[in-house]
Amino acid sequence: RQQRVRGQTEGEFIDIDAGIDAMIARRAGAAPDTRVYCRYERRSRDMSVLLLIDSSRSTTERMRGSTSTVLEMERLSTALLARAMTDVGDAFAIAAFCSNGREDVRYERVKDFGRPFDAGALDRLAGLVGDYSTRLGAVMRHAGNDLRSQKSYRRLLMIVTDGEPSDIDVHDPDYLAEDARAAVHELNRDGI
């Protein structure tokens, strides 16, 4: 969040109060204070991040040119990002998702907001297995409800996925992509 910093010798705009004080000092015959500018700076972090990991069956496939699966790379990148967010002090949560039709969307909590990223969270992250399908829109809406409860200035939903939306009850190839697009717009209206 940006904060206004007053009393600067250089800046983006003039501090009206400091400018008036400088003019009064000048007319009174005193040396005016030259710190009459303001600028905006980012001085503190105020962000909550919810990281969603795709744990569908397609993530169990090996990556091209590698012996690692997509899910292994997702777990590794999530662990690195979690360590960085812990060091910076941002509030974050981690969840995994997969689906088996509209009625069976699974949302597995790895780490909740306000809980430490400790050995238990690492064990839950390492224990993720890929199964079922990918229905992004529904899980994004559910994750949005978790993020809405956070009182931070910025709320970010990150999805680590192989990018293949699919499910057993969907026959139109564009349906799930459009549903995810609609979910993104709904979350954006709420400041996420």
| 187, two tokens | 């979350």
**CA 1 to CA 24: how far, in whole Å?**
34
The angle subtended at Cα 27 by Cα 23 and Cα 28, nearest 5°, is 115
Q: What is the separation, in whole angstroms, between the first and last Cα of the chain?
A: 15
Pairing relationship of beta strands 37-42 and 2-8 according to DSSP bridges: antiparallel
Write down the pTM of the prediction.
0.76
Show pLDDT as tens, one digit a residue, over the chain (192 residues).
678 888 888 888 999 999 999 999 999 999 999 999 999 887 677 889 999 999 998 889 888 888 899 999 999 999 999 999 999 888 999 999 999 988 889 999 999 999 999 999 999 999 999 999 988 899 999 999 999 999 888 899 999 988 878 877 888 878 988 999 999 999 999 999
Task: Give Cα 184 to chain centroid, integer Å.
Answer: 13
